[in-house]
Structure 1
Amino acid sequence: MLNKFSFHPFGVDLVKLVETTIRSESRRFPNRPIYIMGESMGACLALAVAARSTPDINLVLVLANPAYILNLFYEATSFGKSQLQALVLVLKALPDQLCVSFPYLMSIMTGVPSRMMKATVEKGLPFQQTAIDLSEDVAAWLSYMSGLADVFTVATILWKLKMVDSACEYSNSHIRNVSAQTLVLLSGKDQLFPNLVEGQRLCQILPKCQMRVFNDCGHAMFLDEDIDLVAVIKEAGFYHRAELLPPSPLAIRKCVDSLRWTDVAASPVLLSTLETGKIVRGLDGIPAEGPVLFVGHHNILGFEMIPMLRHFIIERNINVRTLAHPIALNMFKQVNVPELARYNFLRIMGAVPVTASNMYQLFSMKSHVLLYPGGVREGLRRKGEEYKLFWPKQPEFIRLAATFGAKIVPFGAVGEDDFTQLVFDYDDQMKIPFLKAYIDMLTNQSINLRTDADAEFANQDMHVPGLLAKVPGRYYFLFGKPIETQGMKHELRKRDKAEEAYSQVKCEVEKCLAYLLKRREEDPYRNIITRLMYQATHGGLDSHVPTFHID
């Protein structure tokens, strides 16, 4: 029973307190996961609790810059690489009167003052106001540090480090008992601990562990206003039973800002169709109120989604929720990231696995939903299959849309062939034995959403197509006239009527594709070189680039 804490009763009390709270919450909400968030020294406490947890409790650990594998008093461990080791030796030799500098030193080492000043300067206020704010920030910091110095005696600091040391030792010796799903968040500029190496070691030990590295953060990670903990947890797939929660405004803003380069590379042209049938540039033809279901053709690897979803936010402030294959939501396991929005766009923007229940829930929330009936078969097309639809025969989404009276917006996206050339496809790879074995393994590990072997679309073998980059062209989108299903719930229950509506949607998508393929030939700015030349003489990269004439 936690014998390693025997000389530190306070450590035992902390573990028991957390355990009691967890068991109480588990009894109250037996079907909900319980999240334990531990930062720095608190991570050792979280691991100690998890090591003692019973299998009937669904625990999820989130550990930020964990220090639990550091033994603060033994050279043989990774603490030998930490700057705190030298501080411990100095503290033992210092009298209480000189220990008042310890909180100041720790604060500087964790980068708090520098990040505080950086945040003030980045507000872009006038120089005089910036100087006033900086002086107020420094005064507040000094006042806070002075209060800490009054209570941080040498004996207090050493006692606390000794208690943490025993917790670290216990966690180390029982770490293999931890079966909880664990997300490790690490700072790339941590001046206190060598946590990158230790985080990798932890992910090798724990069976269900993922790691995220934020390259620009210091030890005090959550003092960085760019870190949205909820968005991080959701992106990693650790937010159980909460996938349908919309992303936070901060996460959306970061996605939009960090992907501005797509406007330079793709210069997307978005066209929509008004109720009158007139095609206009922009998204004025898109219904503002949901539920709305966008149904379209899946370009290779889904390249079209980033500029499309981004401009829905910019132009209409509409967050489109994508129904995606589960493998697309779990592509990144160990990731080094300067910014969250750059490494799993779909998760952050609120994508969910493509299931009937998820579609039902999103419609009930009056969401704008994106669906690709062609799925993996379209997203991983073969040579010569550009802009060809591979839709199932069954009208999978029509009846569900009619249940909620959702408007169905067919659309086409053209441009994948202006950016990449498919040179090594599925058929080529299946001729090579070791690649065939790899594809079979990857496919067997994936969720097979469709099993109709007689249908052309049923081949959903997972593979990575070989692509050759081209001089960037341009992306074009056309959203057709919305198709009403309001009041047609009972009518579309009939098989023939549902199939008729399904054929109408498919036909409209094909018409959108045909329109764009023809009209893009008339665009004088289809090539990136001509676009850059235009922007150089018309206000820079943020200038609006025209396209073909719209009737």
Structure 2
Amino acid sequence: MRVNKHFCSVSHACIPSKSQALNCGSRLLVVSGTVDHKYSLSGKCGRRRRVVASVATEQSVDNAEGTLSTEGEAFLAGRSENGSVQSITISYRDKKVGKHVEGRKYESVSVKDYMDRSRDFIVPDGGPPRWFCPLECSHPPKDAPVLFFLPGVRRISFTVIFNIQLETYTGMDGIGLGLILHHQTLADLFEVRCLHIPVMDRTSFEGLVKCVEETIRLEHKVSPMKPIYLVGDSFGGCLALAVAARNPTIDLILILANPATSFNKSQLQPLFPLLEAIPPELHGTVPYLLSSVMGDPVRMAMADINDELPLLDTVQQLSENLEALLPRLSNLADIVPKETLLWKLKLLRSAALYTNSRLHAVKAEVLLLASGKDQMLPTRDEAIHLLNKLSNCRVRYFRDSGHTLLLEGGINLATVIKSSRLYRHSRNRDYVLDFVPPTPQEFKEVYDKKDWWFRVATGPVLFSTLEDGKIVKGLTGIPQHGPVLLVGNHMLMGLELVPLVGEFLRQRNIFVRGIAHPALFSKRSDEGLHQENQIDDVRLFGAVPVSAKNLFRLLSTKSFALLYPGGAREALHRKGEQYQLFWPERSEFVRMAARFGATIIPFAAVGEDDIAELLLDYNDLKEIPYMSNWIKQLNQDVQNVRSDMPGEVANQEVHIPGMAPKIPGRLYYLFGKPIATAGRENELKDREKAHSLYLHVKGEVEAGMSYLQEKRKEDPYRQIIPRLLYEATWNFTRQAPAFEP
């Protein structure tokens, strides 16, 4: 067995029949025992830490304890002499070290780290494929699902440019470090295990399928109620699909990055006879032959660059990153002989043929990550093909990325998984308990980058009401702890949502969970080559489909829930209906809020008439035959949750109205005086009293809208030009003031 500072790995049989030492620098971990007995672990160097080790076999799970001087966790798996799969999980943690700390910063990782760590993997050791767990992933959350990474075996080429001469260097993937840029963020969600395929390994594709399959089946046997995630990169995508086709009853979730199922259409196909004919002394020219199928080197070098740096500093850092890759790449072409390269290419071809013949048997949930600039494979066309062939497939399209998608900057795999509704702990998705709050980095990416233009254009101002009825600027009047139910009015297209949720996080560090229309969670919302958009952000920030059950779950977990009783009818109102409420006749939420002692906060939002003008509403669109059919198709698979109610509130058909933007004004929010329901559960069980409180909340929202519409006339910075001029004098570090409440 071999261990280094980054990972634990095994060289041959994972379960030794005799005592065997694992060297980790100056540290020593002794593993002893046999398959039929418990393992004893011991190690000592400096400060002592507790070790928990488990040995999992197809027959039993045994435990042992010991001590070890270092921190981390490693999952070791391989084949014993009789051919059965065995595994050891070694966890060593300091009791004082907690798991994920909210707001923690991640260490900067780049492709340079990928190349540095690769040196420990590419030395031929004669061992079979095996699993390892990166030490960055050593503290998974409690009851976290397992994520297996299946690497590619393609050749990766880099072209170094800028202030150094143009040269191309090539390295062999398959080592299992393809997720290195994502280890830290994935560690907050999963127990991560990576497959390592040694450089000189000659295991056939079917042999690799069986190796992964046996590990998957063992994991399923140990935790039958948990989903198992397979992240397949290129060749690994074929491997994941093949395993899923052979195991349709196991709850698998596949995430495929540019899968090599289209290898028969690859530009590498004509290279087979050429590579076979190249004499050994000219093997060094192979990188040049393959330079046309490389990933984007600039995007790789940008992975760890702070995007807030000035332009000149960014260019300097990019140049340094590209130059730093040179000594790390210069020797890789010599390590991989021509015979190995040919074997890998033949392995890709057999993988594509094997997998394509079994796509019909794949029942797993599939998320396909497709690059728009993949020069190795026709990934865009293949994404459309797989979308039609697989029964449960969605696509996320990255237009500017190359084949080495997971090693490029601009993509966070953990974020993609969360925003795609893929993260869950059990077979049944729980929108409340499976929610993982966005990290500070994710919040910054959405609110400070994607949506900055909307915030600048609308200059949102929030007011709240204290217990004594005084209105103050900011969110001081909002309780710090839940359960809290925010109840208010929708503006056109829900334009008020982004600043509302963002400011609650920025000002008070409170996650507001929106109760959203089912259309945001339908299959139709993910159709085609779907690029990341506003819908993904809404789901990332914890929105749940509207239902009494989900509201119940949110309040029972003391969450801050955001409810719009007017629903889609209010957000998609008709001409002349702005600032009108379309609420049900009877209470929908009061008695449920009282059951959990939730605080109800009515709120109002105005400003849509300063942002956009409605040109074509629902009635206009229904008069156009083509648009009428489009609306019908759009709502075909969308549940109307209020179809049994009387009045206009039942008309919840989703559509996109025609709008014309205006020179933007400002958005205003007023959160009314908190209404406590704690201790009033018995009182509010009475339907009439609950209805009376419901009407009071509705009246507060209407009064708030009237107040804001009148007071905004006193705002000297209501329009964008004077507002931007004021904020520019403060170098945009201070928001322009509004009216005095």
Q: Which runs of 5+ in 1 are unaligned?
A: 1-7, 72-77
Q: Match for residue 214 of structure 2?
A: 20
Does the 8 Å contact 1:103/1:149 carry over to 2? yes
Kindly indicate whether residue 416 of structure 2 is the aligned counterpart of residue 232 of structure 1: yes
CA distance in structure 1 between the aligned counterparts of 2:312 and 2:410, rounded to whole angstroms:
24
CA distance in structure 2 between the aligned counterparts of 1:262 and 1:542, rounded to whole angstroms:
17
**Alpha-carbon shift at residue 412 of structure 1 (Å):** 0.4
Q: Match for residue 214 of structure 1?
A: 398
Does the 8 Å contact 1:341/1:348 carry over to 2? no
Instruction: Give secondary structure in 2 for the equivalent of 1:283.
Output: coil
Q: Which moved more, 1:108-117 or 1:417-426?
A: 108-117
Instruction: Give secondary structure in 1 for the equivalent of 2:402.
Output: coil
Q: Deviation digits for residues 339-372 of structure 1, max 9, x if unmatched? A: x465632112121111222223222333221111
Kindly indicate whether residue 406 of structure 2 is the aligned counterpart of residue 406 of structure 1: no
**Alpha-carbon shift at residue 336 of structure 1 (Å):** 5.9
**Alpha-carbon shift at residue 242 of structure 1 (Å):** 4.9
Question: 1:155 pairs with 339, 356, 376, which one?
Answer: 339
Q: Match for residue 527 of structure 2?
A: 333
Does the 8 Å contact 1:185/1:211 carry over to 2? yes
Q: Deviation digits for residues 228-257 of structure 1, max 9, x if unmatched? A: 223212322333515331233132221112
Does the 8 Å contact 2:603/2:704 carry over to 1? yes
CA distance in structure 2 between the aligned counterparts of 1:419 and 1:113, rounded to whole angstroms:
41
**Alpha-carbon shift at residue 47 of structure 1 (Å):** 1.8
**Residue type of the alignment partner of 2:740:** H
CA distance in structure 1 between the aligned counterparts of 2:463 and 2:562, rounded to whole angstroms:
17
Question: 2:327 pairs with 137, 142, 145, which one?
Answer: 142
Kindly indicate whether residue 665 of structure 2 is the aligned counterpart of residue 473 of structure 1: yes
Q: Which moved more, 1:520-529 or 1:254-263?
A: 520-529
Q: Deviation digits for residues 40-78 of structure 1, max 9, x if unmatched? A: 111111122233333x3333321101112212xxxxxx2
CA distance in structure 2 between the aligned counterparts of 1:482 and 1:490, rounded to whole angstroms:
20
Does the 8 Å contact 1:271/1:283 carry over to 2? yes
Q: Which moved more, 1:35-44 or 1:494-503?
A: 494-503
Question: 2:516 pairs with 318, 324, 328, which one?
Answer: 324
**Alpha-carbon shift at residue 108 of structure 1 (Å):** 9.9
Structure with greater contact order relative to length (CA < 8 Å, sep ≥ 6): 1
CA distance in structure 2 between the aligned counterparts of 1:188 and 1:326, rounded to whole angstroms:
30
Question: 1:489 pairs with 681, 689, 706, which one?
Answer: 681
**Residue type of the alignment partner of 2:373:** K
Taking structure 1 as reference, are residues 100 and 399 closer, same or farther at Cα in structure 2, changes over 3 Å only?
farther
**Alpha-carbon shift at residue 135 of structure 1 (Å):** 6.8
Instruction: Give secondary structure in 2 for the equivalent of 1:344.
Output: helix
Instruction: Give secondary structure in 1 for the equivalent of 2:210.
Output: helix
Q: Deviation digits for residues 411-445 of structure 1, max 9, x if unmatched? A: 00101121222232223333445544443443342
Question: 2:613 pairs with 398, 421, 436, which one?
Answer: 421
Taking structure 1 as reference, are residues 26 and 516 closer, same or farther at Cα in structure 2, changes over 3 Å only?
same
**Residue type of the alignment partner of 1:45:** L
Q: Which moved more, 1:318-327 or 1:467-476?
A: 467-476
Does the 8 Å contact 2:299/2:409 carry over to 1? no
Q: Which moved more, 1:25-34 or 1:306-315?
A: 25-34
Taking structure 1 as reference, are residues 462 and 128 closer, same or farther at Cα in structure 2, changes over 3 Å only?
closer
**Residue type of the alignment partner of 1:320:** V
Q: Deviation digits for residues 282-328 of structure 1, max 9, x if unmatched? A: 11222222222111011121111012212222222222111101103
**Alpha-carbon shift at residue 447 of structure 1 (Å):** 0.7
User: How do residues 60-79 of structure 1 correspond to structure 2 at under 5 angstroms?
Assistant: 60-71=253-264, 78-79=265-266
Instruction: Give secondary structure in 2 for the equivalent of 1:461.
Output: coil
**Alpha-carbon shift at residue 158 of structure 1 (Å):** 1.2
Kindly indicate whether residue 368 of structure 2 is the aligned counterpart of residue 178 of structure 1: no
Q: Which moved more, 1:35-44 or 1:85-94?
A: 85-94
**Alpha-carbon shift at residue 259 of structure 1 (Å):** 1.0
Does the 8 Å contact 2:484/2:559 carry over to 1? yes
CA distance in structure 2 between the aligned counterparts of 1:333 and 1:132, rounded to whole angstroms:
39
Does the 8 Å contact 2:305/2:314 carry over to 1? no
CA distance in structure 2 between the aligned counterparts of 1:195 and 1:64, rounded to whole angstroms:
9
CA distance in structure 2 between the aligned counterparts of 1:447 and 1:372, rounded to whole angstroms:
17
**Alpha-carbon shift at residue 385 of structure 1 (Å):** 1.5
Q: Match for residue 51 of structure 1?
A: 245
Instruction: Give secondary structure in 2 for the equivalent of 1:36.
Output: strand
CA distance in structure 1 between the aligned counterparts of 2:530 and 2:637, rounded to whole angstroms:
25
Q: Count how many residue pairs are aligned between Structure 1 and Structure 2.
A: 529
Taking structure 1 as reference, are residues 271 and 101 closer, same or farther at Cα in structure 2, changes over 3 Å only?
farther
Instruction: Give secondary structure in 2 for the equivalent of 1:68.
Output: helix
Question: 2:537 pairs with 345, 367, 371, which one?
Answer: 345
Taking structure 1 as reference, are residues 207 and 402 closer, same or farther at Cα in structure 2, changes over 3 Å only?
same
Taking structure 1 as reference, are residues 496 and 368 closer, same or farther at Cα in structure 2, changes over 3 Å only?
same
Q: Which runs of 5+ in 2 are unaligned?
A: 1-201
Q: Which moved more, 1:115-124 or 1:41-50?
A: 115-124
**Residue type of the alignment partner of 1:11:** F
Q: Which moved more, 1:309-318 or 1:426-435?
A: 426-435
**Alpha-carbon shift at residue 174 of structure 1 (Å):** 2.7
More helix per residue: 1
Question: 1:366 pairs with 548, 558, 564, which one?
Answer: 558
Does the 8 Å contact 1:120/1:134 carry over to 2? no
CA distance in structure 2 between the aligned counterparts of 1:33 and 1:545, rounded to whole angstroms:
49
CA distance in structure 1 between the aligned counterparts of 2:311 and 2:612, rounded to whole angstroms:
46
Kindly indicate whether residue 253 of structure 2 is the aligned counterpart of residue 253 of structure 1: no
Q: Match for residue 171 of structure 2?
A: none
Kindly indicate whether residue 641 of structure 2 is the aligned counterpart of residue 449 of structure 1: yes
Q: Match for residue 738 of structure 2?
A: 547
CA distance in structure 2 between the aligned counterparts of 1:130 and 1:471, rounded to whole angstroms:
35
Kindly indicate whether residue 372 of structure 2 is the aligned counterpart of residue 188 of structure 1: yes
Taking structure 1 as reference, are residues 497 and 97 closer, same or farther at Cα in structure 2, changes over 3 Å only?
farther
Taking structure 1 as reference, are residues 533 and 122 closer, same or farther at Cα in structure 2, changes over 3 Å only?
closer
**Alpha-carbon shift at residue 167 of structure 1 (Å):** 1.2
Taking structure 1 as reference, are residues 149 and 379 closer, same or farther at Cα in structure 2, changes over 3 Å only?
same
Q: Match for residue 204 of structure 2?
A: 10
User: How do residues 271-282 of structure 1 correspond to structure 2 at under 5 angstroms?
Assistant: 271-282=463-474
Question: 2:690 pairs with 498, 503, 510, which one?
Answer: 498
Taking structure 1 as reference, are residues 137 and 384 closer, same or farther at Cα in structure 2, changes over 3 Å only?
closer
